[in-house]
Amino acid sequence: MPKHIVIIGAHAAGVDAASAARKTDRTAQITMLTEEKHPGYSRCGLPFVIGGHIPNFSDLIVFPPTYFQMMKISLKTETKAKAIDTTKKTVETQDKTGKSETISYDTLIIATGASSFMPPIKGKEKQGICSLRTLEDGYTIDQAVKNGARTAVVMGAGLIGLETAIGLREKGLNVTVVEMLPQILPQMLDADMAKPVQEMLEQKGINIQTGKCCDEILGTEKATGVSAGGEQFNADLLISAFGVRANTQLATNAGVVLGDTKAIKTNARMETNIKDVYAIGDCAESTHIVTQKPALMQFGTVAVRHGKVAGINAAGGYALFTGVLGSSISRLYNADVGSTGLTESAANRARIETITGTISSKTKAEYYPGALPIKVKLVVEKESQKIMGAQIIGGEEVTQRINAISFAIQKQMTARELAKADTAYAPPVCETWEPLVLAAEMVLMKLR
């Protein structure tokens, strides 16, 4: 009798889990459930549709219905998983018509993702506050712009908040970003690296207000602005970009244990505390490679890796998830901003004594036309001299340098070893001295 695998959630983590399970067991019966109308689309692309870089929201659908048919996956859209019974190994579901169904499983993968978070701000119940998490959210914001919105306030200066702010600015809106902390991108960059990014965004016409906590959503029934740090910012369009929170209620109701991050606790096989139940993606925590402590990294790259491991294991194979570094990248106008591992401030919070090396260079030979600036900050543990993390800002070639440092951290490379790296050179593509090597040499100078 074929094994029945049930997956709750049909985006990056869920779809990759289904794909891996199918490749592992060609005979398995695989059922996927999602509350959304459209499965398998890229959430990360939403701000770039708003900005006009991608023509339509429908272009973000990576896995069309034909994919699920080809992979022989039974997909149930607009279907809610109401309850999990881990003793009977069943999932209670309800579709959009109200029809209920009980689905049995041999192995279950929970990929319930995360939802936009709204802190307890006075007036948060007012109409017209948008977030950007789903295709429907994207349509709502796009429609507001088409209906004549001219001003916007984005609450939160993380990656999604800034990408959305840029998208709206590119559509001609006057945009203000309000951030409670004293810098933008607080999870990704140290203050010294965030400063030039903020200055660039301000030069592009985005009004950025850091160190200001949103106290109240203004307006009567409809939101018309926000009060923050004693100032009032009026807007036709309000965007909540405070981040997301893991969707764990379904799992906890079934007895699944949460970890220190308040996401679902898993082991290296993505197994929960309950036999034959796995958790993946934005609702599941991982182990940080540097600190070896629980971490919640809600990135698409983490979701697909989680999914592959859980899919293989749920289908009877064997795979391990080795941990996360939080490697991330974005393009903000013409600047690529990337980070991996620990920032200096994160290392300090983890009580790791560090030395940093920061260098400004060019992406091509100085004399070659089109050479763009690039800035690298390397974070190194003082005692062992092991590389802990890096942040890079530049006009090009940031992604692969971040990836290179990710490899270096995973291989426990030291700053001394990086400083001796044998790197390539040609005037149209890079300097004779690789900026990562120069940053490592800067660290060694400080250590001396």
Q: Give the rounded distance of the alpha carbon of 148 from its chain centre.
A: 30
Query: Does the pLDDT value for residue 305 go beyond 90?
Result: yes
For 314, the token pair is: 């749920």
Report the percent of the chain where pLDDT is more than 90.
Answer: 99
Considering the four listed CATH numbers 2.120.10.30, 1.20.1740.10, 3.30.70.100, 3.30.390.30, the one that applies to the domain covering 336-447 is 3.30.390.30
Task: Tally Cβ neighbours within 10 Å of residue 36.
Answer: 17
> What pLDDT is attached to residue 319?
98
- Give the closest residue to 5 by CA, choosing from 280, 302, 296: 280
Cα within 13 Å of Cα(123), Cβ side: 19
What architecture is the 129-242 domain classified under in CATH?
3-Layer(bba) Sandwich (3.50)
> What pLDDT is attached to residue 337?
98
The beta-carbon contacts of 138-141 under 8 Å, at least 24 apart in sequence, are 138/46, 138/49, 138/50, 138/57, 139/57, 141/50, 141/168, 141/237, 141/239
Query: Does the pLDDT value for residue 10 go beyond 90?
Result: yes
β-strands 214-218, 207-209 pairing? unpaired
> What pLDDT is attached to residue 331?
96
The DSSP letter of residue 386 is B
Domains 129-242 and 336-447 are alike in CATH topology = no
Q: What is the pLDDT of residues 142-189, one digit of tens each?
A: 999 999 999 999 999 999 999 999 999 999 999 999 999 999 999 999
Strand partners, 287: 294
CA distances to 26, 153, 273, 332, 397 from 201, in Å: 50, 15, 45, 8, 20
CATH class entry, domain 4-40+54-115+245-314: alpha beta
Query: Does the pLDDT value for residue 268 go beyond 90?
Result: yes
Report the percent of the chain where pLDDT is more than 70.
Answer: 100
Q: At what angle do helices 159-170 and 191-203 cross, to 10 degrees?
A: 10
> What pLDDT is attached to residue 316?
98
Task: Tally Cβ neighbours within 10 Å of residue 139.
Answer: 13
- Look up tokens 């600190």; give the residue: 291
44 assigned to active site: yes
- Mean pLDDT, rounded, of the chain: 97
Q: What is the pLDDT of residues 191-250, one digit of tens each?
A: 999 999 999 999 999 999 999 999 999 999 999 999 999 999 999 999 999 999 999 999
The DSSP letter of residue 393 is E
Amino acid occupying residue 52: G
> What pLDDT is attached to residue 293?
96
Q: Give 448's pLDDT tier (boundaries 50, 70, 90).
A: confident
For 195, the token pair is: 């400063």
pTM of the model: 0.95
Residue in 44, 130, 214, 430 annotated catalytic: 44
- Backbone dihedral angles phi then psi of residue 357, each to the nearest 5 degrees: -130, 125
Cα 75 to Cα 270: distance, rounded to the nearest angstrom: 22
Task: Tally Cβ neighbours within 10 Å of residue 359.
Answer: 18
Cα within 13 Å of Cα(95), Cβ side: 9
Average pLDDT over residues 339-360: 97
The DSSP letter of residue 367 is T
Domain boundaries, the chain: 4-40+54-115+245-314, 129-242, 336-447
Helix (H) or strand (E) holding 443: helix 435-447
Average pLDDT over residues 265-281: 98
Q: What is the pLDDT of residues 50-65, one digit of tens each?
A: 999 999 999 999 999 9
- Give the closest residue to 277 by CA, choosing from 7, 3, 35: 7
Q: Give 358's pLDDT tier (boundaries 50, 70, 90).
A: very high
Please say whether the beta carbons of 32 and 75 come within 8 A.
yes
Cα 60 to Cα 46: distance, rounded to the nearest angstrom: 8
- Look up tokens 């996956």; give the residue: 73
The DSSP letter of residue 217 is E
Cα 252 to Cα 86: distance, rounded to the nearest angstrom: 11
Where b means 16+ CB within 10 Å and e means fewer, 160-170 reads bbbbbbbbbbb
Average pLDDT over residues 10-14: 96
CA distances to 39, 300, 327 from 16, in Å: 12, 11, 19
Please say whether the beta carbons of 289 and 323 come within 8 A.
yes
β-strands 207-209, 174-178 pairing? parallel
